[in-house]
Chains A and B, each alone.
Chain A
Amino acid sequence: MNAILHAAFHAIGIIILIYFFLINGFYFLFTILSLVGIFHHRNLSTYVSFKEVFRLPLIKPISIIATAYNEEVTIIESVRSLLSLEYPNYEVIVVNDGSTDRTLDNLITIFRLQKSKRVFRKVVDHKPVKGIYASPSFPKLIVIDKVNGRKADALNAGLNVSRYPLFCAVDADSLLEKSALLKIVRPFLEDPERTIAAGGIIRLSNGCTFKDGQLSQVRMPRNFLARFQVIEYFRAFLGGRIGLSMLKSLLIISGAFGLFRKDVALQCGGYRTGTIGEDLDLIVRMRRHLHNMRKPFEVRFIPDPICWTEAPETLRSLSRQRNRWHRGLLDTIRYNRIMLFNPRYGVTGLFALPFYFVFEMLGPLIELAGYVTFLVCMILGQVNTPFALLFFLLAVVLGTLLSLLAVLIEEYSSHRYPRLRDILIIALFSLLENVIYRQWLSIVRVLAFFDFAKGKQEWGAMEKKGFARPAET
């Protein structure tokens, strides 16, 4: 019996070990590719300044769709920021998704909105629209007031009302930098036929100060949870997505800031309202559609258009957010399971989706299984304690190294944290992140499996502080 147990634990140990080396190997590869990508991108920006993009004769107009649900704290600042972007031709469509607070009232008062008789094509389905508002003083702005149907539904309403061939999906609680549109539109100018989506970088606004809808000072947040998330975002966007984009395997363009070709999105039926991971789901379905049509396409990640968003600062909000993200991933992979390991879907079916399936979806389960196995083995006295401890340390240091490489990429790219102190804090938290925080997140994500099995569709509200102004800090 003891021998069988020993053999079983040995086999589990080997599987976890292989998994550990594979996942870290992939992340290391993405990070190295990201470094190469950043240098290439720097070369490009040396040659073409973004003001030149502004003067291009055939620049395409963009519809910005911002969805808002109970965003009374941030909505005005966000819309102001959207209205002051540098781009020759764009419209801002704010979709009030049945807010129960003063979101719509604030918009009506501040932007002097009046009810409009605008008509639109109902190409994709969504919950009924209660009214469309326009403002004589802000002709770029349109506000849709609709019955609550969640984010995907609100985005579909925005898609129907939008007039332009490209649409930019943003969260109403986020702020775009002035030049963000000019930068993100670039792949659509270079390769308009093949580029179907492009994503920019999301950064956390916690700790930063804003003035007139624009960022005025970048600082590390004081909240420890927000600090951990700063590092996570660095790793995900700078260390991961540039690399995945270079491997033509990018499956997610963040819902907080992404630019898409409207015709392709509409051909796929717009956003799928039954899902809560609408950003990932749309890209996967767009890829699936174009693979089916046998049309070449590109999904690009551009590292310098920046969108600032507020991160949750309490364990409760953060666990809700991560639980939701993981349920979204589970749902998308289940919905598109036909693509998994299917050569018909090229790199998406053979690498990108399997990667997300094995390492992102099953990752927390395997990680947790590793910890549980370790504990059981320890109780049964089957553990080589020095080896286990050293291996745990190795995992922590490897995780830290990956985070530090992402910090290095940040230093070579936008270099947004001006104080050396902030960089040192990031380095310290890169180490701390791997102890307790990481394990806690794994548990949260494992719990998402149960919630998903129960069919939980809850979004989970997040307490917002709003964007801090200089006087408030």
Chain B
Amino acid sequence: MNPPLIITIHGLLFLLLFSLSLIAFIVIRRLVIERQQVRFKRLYGQIERDVLEAISLLNQDFTLKVANRHKSHHRVLTQVLLDFGDIIVGEGRDQLRIIFNSVLKDRCLSHLASPWTTKRLQSIRLFIIFFDPSENTQLHRLLDDKPIVKLAVISALARIPSPETMRYVFKAFEEDTGTTVRSYLNIMFSLGNRIEPLVKAHLKKPLSAEKLGLLVELAGAIPLRSLYEEINALAGHPDKEIRIKVARTLGKLLLPESVQTLVSLAADATWEVQAQAVKSLGKLRDRDTLDILTGSLFSPFWYVRYNAGYGLCELGEEGIRRLKKVAAQKEDRYARDMSVMVLNDLIYSSEAA
């Protein structure tokens, strides 16, 4: 036999063996998982019944008994706690916390140092639900972990919105770069109004345009009305994206004093800012802006006309009267068509109602 033939035979045998082992692995894995699932389902049902009873009885001794009864099935118990922990609050969650503290906490703490990301993340998720401020230090260790783990830890810390935790979140936001930055927005959003002083301080810092923009959007999403002055001051920012976000946020803050700023943004050099400012003006429902909105219907930019049309709709009868007037004129067919569309839509929505 020549060498190429020998190599081919060996290669073929190796690949055949590999393929067969792979099929065997897939099939065995499937069978094992199916058996595990059946067992898991059965145990889950039993534990679920007991946990629900503990939640309804609110008796610490009974809850401890339930915890001890099922302590050997920690995987299923973890899943039950994860499922219930997200939806049960108040005294019910206290019972879940008792089970967690007595059976799963130590295991969970050891898993925080596991080399497997999945285990670390699962443990952090449990901490997110049953967080105890005394465990802060355990979690702080993970703040230098992978971005995803770090974010999970910050989410956990954010469950107890102490001033220290919030400072942590903002510090991490300031330091982090790359794709995780936007994820902080979600965490900060969950902290609500209490982050107002920190947002205020950070709006004055020399942050990147992306981070600054996120804070501006956050102020609108919560909304943080007391930050009006800071947001307003950014209306003249050289970055177009920031001006767009300022216009959007002012529309969400719904403060009458922001009309002037929005009027000036409606005359911005870029159409994107104009469109957003016109949209926000509509939301403010200030009758003094009727002329500006009507004028914007004649803008050369489609989105500006679109937002002006729906903005006039928000202004009630007088807005609709203006729309009808524009729909009847013949000089500008683009303004006319937009008005007709908005009026048509209005008929549909009232039909649907």
Q: How far is the CA of A134 from the CA of B346 in the complex (A)?
A: 12
Which chain B residues border A411 with CB–CB below 8 Å?
26, 29-30
**A417 to chain B: closest residue by CB:** B30
Given contacts A398-B15, A408-B22, A408-B26, contact A193 B349 (CB under 8 A): no
Contact across chains for A400 and B338 when beta carbons are under 8 A apart: no
Contact across chains for B349 and A407 when beta carbons are under 8 A apart: no
Contact across chains for A43 and B30 when beta carbons are under 8 A apart: no
Q: How far is the CA of A397 from the CA of B348 in the complex (A)?
A: 61
Given contacts A400-B19, A404-B19, A424-B27, contact A394 B186 (CB under 8 A): no
Q: How far is the CA of A387 from the CA of B179 in the complex (A)?
A: 52
Q: How far is the CA of A400 from the CA of B349 in the complex (A)?
A: 56
Say whether A436 faces chain B, with CB atoms less than 8 Å apart.
Answer: no
- How many residue pairs at the A-B interface have CB separations less than 8 Å? 119
Interface members, chain A 385-416 (any B CB < 8 Å) = 386-387, 390-391, 393-394, 397-398, 400-401, 404-405, 407-408, 411
Which chain A residues border B22 with CB–CB below 8 Å?
401, 404-405, 408
Chain A interface: which of B2-10, B88-96, B130-138? B2-10
Contact across chains for A192 and B5 when beta carbons are under 8 A apart: no
Say whether B298 faces chain A, with CB atoms less than 8 Å apart.
Answer: no
> B129-156: contact bitstring with A at CB < 8 Å (1 yes, 0 no)?
0000000000000000000100110000
Contact across chains for A58 and B221 when beta carbons are under 8 A apart: yes
Say whether B185 faces chain A, with CB atoms less than 8 Å apart.
Answer: yes
**B122 to chain A: closest residue by CB:** A46
Choose from A43, A408, A423 the contact partner of B121 (Cβ within 8 Å).
Answer: A43
Say whether A191 faces chain B, with CB atoms less than 8 Å apart.
Answer: yes
Contact across chains for B338 and A139 when beta carbons are under 8 A apart: no
Which chain B residues border A42 with CB–CB below 8 Å?
118
Given contacts A47-B121, A405-B22, A427-B23, contact A136 B352 (CB under 8 A): yes
Q: How far is the CA of A120 from the CA of B217 in the complex (A)?
A: 28
Chain B interface: which of A110-118, A347-355, A363-371? A110-118
Q: How large is the interface on B (under 10, 10 to 19, 20 to 34, 35 or more residues)?
A: 35 or more
Given contacts A43-B117, A44-B148, A47-B152, contact A394 B15 (CB under 8 A): yes
**A44 to chain B: closest residue by CB:** B148
Say whether B31 faces chain A, with CB atoms less than 8 Å apart.
Answer: yes
Say whether A57 faces chain B, with CB atoms less than 8 Å apart.
Answer: yes
Shortest distance between the CB of A412 and any CB in chain B (Å): 9
Contact across chains for A190 and B122 when beta carbons are under 8 A apart: no
Say whether B11 faces chain A, with CB atoms less than 8 Å apart.
Answer: yes
Contact across chains for B31 and A420 when beta carbons are under 8 A apart: yes
Which chain B residues border A44 with CB–CB below 8 Å?
148
Contact across chains for A397 and B12 when beta carbons are under 8 A apart: yes
Say whether B229 faces chain A, with CB atoms less than 8 Å apart.
Answer: no
Say whether B340 faces chain A, with CB atoms less than 8 Å apart.
Answer: yes
Which chain A residues border B349 with CB–CB below 8 Å?
136, 139
Say whether A52 faces chain B, with CB atoms less than 8 Å apart.
Answer: yes
Additional pairs, 16, CB under 8 Å, beyond known A116-B341, A407-B26: A42-B118, A46-B125, A58-B182, A58-B185, A117-B344, A118-B344, A119-B340, A137-B352, A191-B179, A193-B210, A386-B5, A394-B15, A397-B15, A397-B19, A408-B26, A420-B30
Which chain A residues border B210 with CB–CB below 8 Å?
193
Given contacts A116-B344, A193-B210, A408-B22, contact A394 B31 (CB under 8 A): no
Interface members, chain B 1-45 (any A CB < 8 Å) = 2, 4-5, 8-9, 11-12, 15-16, 18-19, 22-23, 25-27, 29-31, 34
Contact across chains for B179 and A57 when beta carbons are under 8 A apart: no
Say whether A189 faces chain B, with CB atoms less than 8 Å apart.
Answer: yes
Shortest distance between the CB of A226 and any CB in chain B (Å): 21
Choose from B19, B25, B148, B185 the contact partner of A57 (Cβ within 8 Å).
Answer: B185
Q: List 6 A-B contacts (CB under 8 A).
A: A136-B349, A387-B5, A397-B16, A404-B19, A411-B29, A420-B27
Contact across chains for B221 and A43 when beta carbons are under 8 A apart: no
Shortest distance between the CB of A142 and any CB in chain B (Å): 11
Say whether A121 faces chain B, with CB atoms less than 8 Å apart.
Answer: yes
Given contacts A393-B12, A427-B26, contact A401 B218 (CB under 8 A): no
**B179 to chain A: closest residue by CB:** A191
Q: How far is the CA of A401 from the CA of B16 in the complex (A)?
A: 8
Which chain A residues border B125 with CB–CB below 8 Å?
46-47
Say whether B351 faces chain A, with CB atoms less than 8 Å apart.
Answer: yes
Shortest distance between the CB of B8 and any CB in chain A (Å): 5
**B220 to chain A: closest residue by CB:** A57
Contact across chains for A390 and B8 when beta carbons are under 8 A apart: yes
Say whether B302 faces chain A, with CB atoms less than 8 Å apart.
Answer: yes
Shortest distance between the CB of A52 and any CB in chain B (Å): 7
Say whether A56 faces chain B, with CB atoms less than 8 Å apart.
Answer: yes
**B19 to chain A: closest residue by CB:** A401
Contact across chains for B26 and A423 when beta carbons are under 8 A apart: yes
Contact across chains for B12 and A117 when beta carbons are under 8 A apart: no
Q: How far is the CA of A401 from the CA of B81 in the complex (A)?
A: 41
Closest 10 CB pairs of A and B: A57-B221, A136-B351, A121-B302, A136-B352, A119-B337, A117-B344, A397-B15, A191-B179, A390-B8, A136-B348
Choose from B9, B148, B182 the contact partner of A189 (Cβ within 8 Å).
Answer: B182
Q: How far is the CA of A99 from the CA of B57 in the complex (A)?
A: 63
Interface centre among A57, A114, A384, A390 (most CB of B within 10 A): A57
Say whether B110 faces chain A, with CB atoms less than 8 Å apart.
Answer: no
Which chain B residues border A120 with CB–CB below 8 Å?
302
Q: How far is the CA of A414 from the CA of B352 in the complex (A)?
A: 39
Which chain B residues border A43 with CB–CB below 8 Å?
117-118, 121, 148
**A418 to chain B: closest residue by CB:** B34
Which chain A residues border B9 with CB–CB below 8 Å?
390
Say whether B46 faces chain A, with CB atoms less than 8 Å apart.
Answer: no
Which chain A residues border B4 with CB–CB below 8 Å?
387
Say whether B183 faces chain A, with CB atoms less than 8 Å apart.
Answer: yes
Contact across chains for A404 and B182 when beta carbons are under 8 A apart: no
Shortest distance between the CB of A367 and any CB in chain B (Å): 18
Q: How far is the CA of A391 from the CA of B19 in the complex (A)?
A: 16
Contact across chains for B189 and A391 when beta carbons are under 8 A apart: no
Which chain B residues border A407 with CB–CB below 8 Å?
26
Q: How far is the CA of A131 from the CA of B278 in the complex (A)?
A: 29
Contact across chains for A401 and B26 when beta carbons are under 8 A apart: no
Given contacts A193-B210, A404-B22, contact A117 B11 (CB under 8 A): no
Contact across chains for B186 and A119 when beta carbons are under 8 A apart: no
**B336 to chain A: closest residue by CB:** A119
Which chain B residues border A424 with CB–CB below 8 Å?
27
Contact across chains for A404 and B26 when beta carbons are under 8 A apart: yes
Contact across chains for B348 and A423 when beta carbons are under 8 A apart: no
Shortest distance between the CB of A80 and any CB in chain B (Å): 18
Which chain B residues border A192 with CB–CB below 8 Å?
182
> A318-348: contact bitstring with B at CB < 8 Å (1 yes, 0 no)?
0000000000000000000000000000000
Contact across chains for B338 and A119 when beta carbons are under 8 A apart: yes
Given contacts A43-B118, A44-B148, contact A387 B352 (CB under 8 A): no
